[in-house]
Amino acid sequence: MTEIQAKYTPEKFQNAEQIWFWFLYSRSVRNDVATRNNAHQTTRRVCELVDIETLITKLYLSGKLNDAHLAVMKEFGDRHRAPHQYIWRENHAAAIWNDAMKVLDAAARAKGWIE
The pLDDT, as a whole number, for residue 32 is 63
Q: pLDDT tens across 41-90, in order?
A: 556 788 999 999 999 999 999 999 999 999 999 999 999 999 999 999 99
DSSP lists the bridge partners of residue 11 as: 45
Of the pLDDT bands very low, low, confident and very high (cuts 50, 70, 90), residue 28 is confident
Domain limits for position 76: 9-111
Distance (Å, whole) CA 94 – CA 115: 24
| Residue 78 placed within a domain | yes
Tell me how many degrees the CA angle 62-63-67 measures, rounded to the nearest 5.
130
The pLDDT, as a whole number, for residue 104 is 98
- The number of distinct structural domains making up the chain is 1
| Residue 3 placed within a domain | no
Phi, psi of 84 (to 5 degrees): -100, 125
Distance (Å, whole) CA 92 – CA 81: 15
The pLDDT, as a whole number, for residue 66 is 98
